[in-house]
């Protein structure tokens, strides 16, 4: 049994504003979606729109197919530095959009995929729940 006490402050729940700031600052996130009795997780480059929706680009394939079948998703970002670690989870509905005016607005957000494949389809996540937490890392 370890006799040392962990003197770090307890895990802290992030405010909604802190959650959105971390989502905005994160270079990428992960989408968790369910289809066919399975759950998949996909890394995505994303941006936060002014209306606090999350947008990302994708290509036709498994991810887009799953989102057309089941709109409910979880989106997650996390990060660390020398002192702290955090995690933010957004639950919501993901829907592909293709109206030119919406695409032009999304393109202004500067989402640039890292993968070399063409990512010409756009998806918007409308949140129903946002929560996050952070804690100090052990020294």
pLDDT in tens, 57-96: 998 877 777 777 788 999 999 999 889 999 999 999 999 9
Reply yes or no on whether the pLDDT at 105 is more than 50: yes
Give the number of domains in the chain: 1
Range of the domain at 89: 12-132
| CA–CA gap between residue 93 and residue 39 (Å, rounded) | 15
Q: Is 105 contained in some domain?
A: yes
Residue 83 maps to which CATH number?
Answer: 2.30.110.10
β-strands 84-97, 38-44 pairing: unpaired
Q: Is 6 contained in some domain?
A: no
| CA–CA gap between residue 80 and residue 131 (Å, rounded) | 17
Q: Is 16 contained in some domain?
A: yes
Q: Is 137 contained in some domain?
A: no
- What digits encode the pLDDT tens for the residues 6-41? 888 889 999 999 999 999 999 899 999 887 778 889
pTM given for the model = 0.88
Q: Is 2 contained in some domain?
A: no
Q: Is 90 contained in some domain?
A: yes
Q: Is 114 contained in some domain?
A: yes
| pLDDT score for 125 | 96
């Amino acid at each position: 049994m370890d006799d040392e006490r962990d003197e770090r402050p307890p895990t802290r729940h992030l405010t909604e504003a802190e959650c959105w700031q971390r989502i905005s600052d994160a270079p990428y996130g992960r989408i968790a979606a369910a289809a066919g009795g399975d759950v998949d997780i996909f890394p995505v480059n994303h941006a936060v729109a002014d209306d606090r929706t999350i947008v990302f680009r994708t290509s036709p394939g498994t991810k887009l197919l799953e989102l057309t079948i089941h709109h409910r998703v979880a989106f997650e970002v996390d990060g660390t530095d020398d002192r702290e670690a955090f995690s933010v989870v957004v639950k919501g509905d993901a829907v592909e959009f293709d109206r030119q005016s919406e695409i032009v607005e999304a393109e202004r957000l500067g989402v640039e995929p890292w993968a070399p494949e063409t990512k010409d389809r756009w998806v918007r996540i409308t949140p129903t729940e946002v929560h996050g937490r952070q804690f100090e890392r052990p020294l």
